[in-house]
Amino acid sequence: MAWVSPTGHNDPSLDWNNEANAYDENTGNYSQEDFGSQSYLELNHAALNCDKIQVWLTEGMPQSVNAAIDVYYSGAWHNIHSGVVTAGQWVEVAIGSTQSVTSARIKSNVSGYLQIREFDFNEVEAPPTYIPKVIMVQ
């Protein structure tokens, strides 16, 4: 098990700035969406076995942030959280099972300035592959 940063991003709406700050291993800076845009920022990585993500978010309200978080696996987006997230600290969100995840996306659920300070995928080792032993009987 290891926390792994995204290796790239996609900003389909072009409503985010400093996108790479969301995964630069520095909670002192951030990527921020335009005020009120409520647009997704996608964070990408080559397929990895993942069971949860961790995120550090901030916004105008110092105590909590209202956000939607989705992960991409099995050819579709799956929502793993929609609602309040404690601001200003690492928050883990479970996927519910281990999946081969390639992307995650985050957006604000309310009008404001959502700031992603850091994001990581939790990579888990793939279970060992079972290879049956073949016994030749003559």
pLDDT 10s digits, 23-60: 999 999 999 998 888 999 999 999 999 999 999 999 86
3 has pLDDT over 80:
yes
- What domains sit in the chain, N to C, each tagged with a CATH number? 2-123 (2.60.120.260)
* 68-113 tens-digit pLDDT: 999 999 999 999 999 999 999 999 999 999 999 999 999 999 888 8
Model pTM score: 0.88
Q: Determine contact, residues 68/81, Cβ cutoff 8 Å.
A: yes
Closest CA to 101 of 41, 40, 56, 43: 43
The strand pair at 8-10 and 41-58 is best described as antiparallel
**Measured distance CA(93)–CA(79) in Å, rounded:** 11
Taking the C-alpha atoms of residue 82 and residue 109, their distance in angstroms, rounded to an integer, is 8
Q: What is the pLDDT of residues 6-25, one digit of tens each?
A: 999 999 999 999 999 999 99
